[in-house]
Structure 1
C-alpha cells in the first residue's frame, strides 16, 4: 500500500519502457511539490521495471502480475494507493512547470466537482489540441463523443479560444484528476471495457449522480496519443464500438434507451458499409464483431444499468453536456467542424 497526502500521479505502463524514458522526467521534475509519482506496471516484458529502478529511483513502483488492460489495471493499482486525489496519466504525456497547481486549487475550492483535466495539446505539434481530450469532452444524443477543440478527426489550433474553465460530460483518461472518494464511491473504471471509453463511462456516471466534471485550461499537458493502438487498428475499432454501446446501455435514461439504440444500429451499419466499400475488410468485421459481442454481454450489465438509474439525479436527464442532436448530421450535412460553431 502506498500512502501519500499529495496527488497520487499514477502512470499505468505496459511495455512502454522507451516511452517512459522519454516523458517521465518531465512528470517527475514538475510534479514533486504537489504530487507523488507512481508507475503501476501491467506485467511488462520489456524490462520496464528494471529501467525504472535504475533510472528513476524516486518513483514508486506497483508491479501487477499480468496485463489487466487500461481499465482494470487502474482499478487494481488504485486499490493499493491512498491519497486525497488520483491523477491517471498516460505514459506518453509531457508536462510543463506548474501544470498541477491550477487543477489542485480548483478542486480544493469546488467540492462539488469530482474530476477535472488539463488543457490537452499535441506533443508533436504543441500549437494544436490533442485528439484524446483537447479542452474537455461532450457527447451527442447517439453516443458520439467530441471535445472543445476537436470534432471527429478535425482538431483545432489552440488560439486561446477555450481558455475558460468549462463543465464537461467527460474528462480525458490521458490526464484525469479525480477525488479518491468519488472514485471509490463510483466503483472506478469498468474493467470489462478493457480499454477505450472507460473514462467516459466513469464520468457519465459521476455526472448523472450530480457531481461535476471540468476542464481547467490553466493546467496544460502535451499528449502523443495512439501509443497503445493506432487509429484504424481493427482492435481499436472493435473496442470503441463495443464499449460505446455498453456505455450507452449502462447510462441512458429509460425513455431514451430504445430510440437511441435503434438509430445506433443503423448508424453502425453505415459505418461498417463505409469500411467495406473502401476495402477495409478488417474494420468492417470489427464493427460487426463489436455489435455481436455487445449483445452477448448485455445480461452482465443489467444490474449495472439499474444501479446507475437508481443513483442518477432525475433519472439521468438534464445533462447539458449531452446535446440532443446528431453530431454526424451537424458535421456532414451542416458542415460544423469546430466546437465553437455548436449551439447547445
Structure 2
C-alpha cells in the first residue's frame, strides 16, 4: 500500500476493564500507520476512562452517562471519529498486526464495496473458525449461518467473496457509506442491529465482502454472558424487528404466525418444564412488544444518521 487513509477503530467498554486493556494492547501493535482508537464507555459502574487514558495516552476515551447498547455506543464513537473509514471491533477481540491493511485495500480497490469484514477465529481455540462468510438470511425466521463455523482453519475459506453479512465483531465501512445509508438503528440496542445495517447498505446498491487476509480472534459472549436473560430478550425482540424493517408484508405476516404459534409455544413449554420463570417473562415481553407496536411504523423504521 502507498496510500494510508485515516482509519478510526471503535470499540465499546461496559464493565470490562481487563478485557478492554487486552484489546487496546492488541490494537496498539498493529502495522497500519494511520489510525485512531476510540473507546466508548457505555455507563460502566466505574468510570475507568482516566485509568485507561493514563495507560494509553494516544487513544481517545468517551464516556456515555447512559448505556446506549452496541448500536448507540458505536454510533457515538462514529460521530466523534475523524477517519475516512470506521473499523468497528468488539472489545472482546484481539487482532493480528496486519489485519487492517487488507480491509482498506479492498474498499479502496472497489467503490461498489460498502462494508468489509475479517475472518474471525475463536480466541480460546485459535485454529477454529467462528466466521468465514455467511449464508443468506431466511426471510421468515431471520436466521443465517456463519460459513466455516467450528471448522479447523486449513485455508479452505481463504478467497475474498461477496457475502450477505460480515461478523459484527469485526466490520469496517466508510464515512461516505454512512452519510448515504445512515448509522445503526440505535433502538435495536443489542443484537441484529449490524444485520439490519448491512441489509440497508446492500439495498443502497453496495456489496459486502468477506476478507480472509484480515484475521481477528473473538472471546465470544463475554460482554453479556452466555444464555443470559439480557441476551435472550434482545435476540427475541430484534429477530422479528429485523424482518419488519427489511422484508415485505407477506414475510412479516408469516413470521408473526411462526413466532406466535410455533416458536413461542415451543419455548414456553421448555421453560415451564424447567420452571424457568425468568425466560418465560423475557420471551413474553419480547413478543408482546411487537403486538403493542403492531401499527407503529414510525417507531419500527426509525434510524440514526451521521
The alignment's TM-score, normalised by the length of structure 2, stands at 0.89
Q: Does structure 1 retain, via aligned residues, the 8 Å contact 2:233–2:283?
A: yes
Any residues of structure 2 matched to 1:91-110 within 5 Å, and which? Answer: 91-110=91-110
Cα pair distance change 1:262/1:106, threshold 3 Å: same
Distance 1:11 1:271 in 2: 34
2:246 corresponds to 1:248: no
Task: Out of 265-274 and 168-177, give the one that drifted further.
Answer: 265-274
Determine the structure 1 residue equivalent to 2:148: 149
Match of 1:137 among 119, 134, 139: 134
Query: 1:199, CA displacement in angstroms?
Result: 0.3
Match of 1:291 among 263, 287, 292: 287
SS in structure 1 at match of 2:20: helix
Any residues of structure 2 matched to 1:190-269 within 5 Å, and which? Answer: 190-265=185-260, 266-269=262-265
Q: Which runs of 5+ in 1 are unaligned?
A: 308-344
Distance 1:297 1:74 in 2: 26
Query: 1:212, CA displacement in angstroms?
Result: 1.0
Distance 2:206 2:212 in 1: 19
Any residues of structure 2 matched to 1:33-52 within 5 Å, and which? Answer: 33-52=33-52
Q: Does structure 2 retain, via aligned residues, the 8 Å contact 1:233–1:283?
A: no
SS in structure 2 at match of 1:206: helix
Distance 2:46 2:123 in 1: 24
Q: Does structure 2 retain, via aligned residues, the 8 Å contact 1:251–1:305?
A: no
**CA deviation profile, 1:72-110 (whole Å, cap 9, x unmatched):** 112222122232110111111111121111111111111
Determine the structure 2 residue equivalent to 1:18: 18
Q: Does structure 1 retain, via aligned residues, the 8 Å contact 2:116–2:209?
A: yes
Query: 1:305, CA displacement in angstroms?
Result: 4.8
The alignment's TM-score, normalised by the length of structure 1, stands at 0.80
Task: Out of 96-105 and 46-55, give the one that drifted further.
Answer: 46-55
Query: 1:23, CA displacement in angstroms?
Result: 2.3
Any residues of structure 2 matched to 1:71-110 within 5 Å, and which? Answer: 71-110=71-110
Cα pair distance change 1:173/1:306, threshold 3 Å: closer
SS in structure 2 at match of 1:237: helix
Q: Does structure 2 retain, via aligned residues, the 8 Å contact 1:34–1:100?
A: no
SS in structure 2 at match of 1:51: helix
Q: Does structure 1 retain, via aligned residues, the 8 Å contact 2:38–2:81?
A: no
Distance 2:256 2:298 in 1: 15
* Aligned-pair Cα RMSD in Å: 2.2
Q: Does structure 1 retain, via aligned residues, the 8 Å contact 2:8–2:86?
A: yes
Q: Does structure 2 retain, via aligned residues, the 8 Å contact 1:127–1:158?
A: yes
Cα pair distance change 1:300/1:85, threshold 3 Å: farther
Query: 1:168, CA displacement in angstroms?
Result: 1.9
Task: Out of 69-78 and 114-123, give the one that drifted further.
Answer: 69-78
Number of corresponding residues: 297
SS in structure 2 at match of 1:230: coil
Determine the structure 2 residue equivalent to 1:168: 163
Cα pair distance change 1:253/1:31, threshold 3 Å: farther
Q: Does structure 1 retain, via aligned residues, the 8 Å contact 2:122–2:217?
A: yes
Distance 1:215 1:285 in 2: 38
Determine the structure 1 residue equivalent to 2:278: 282
Task: Out of 278-287 and 194-203, give the one that drifted further.
Answer: 278-287
Task: Out of 111-120 and 76-85, give the one that drifted further.
Answer: 76-85
SS in structure 2 at match of 1:247: helix
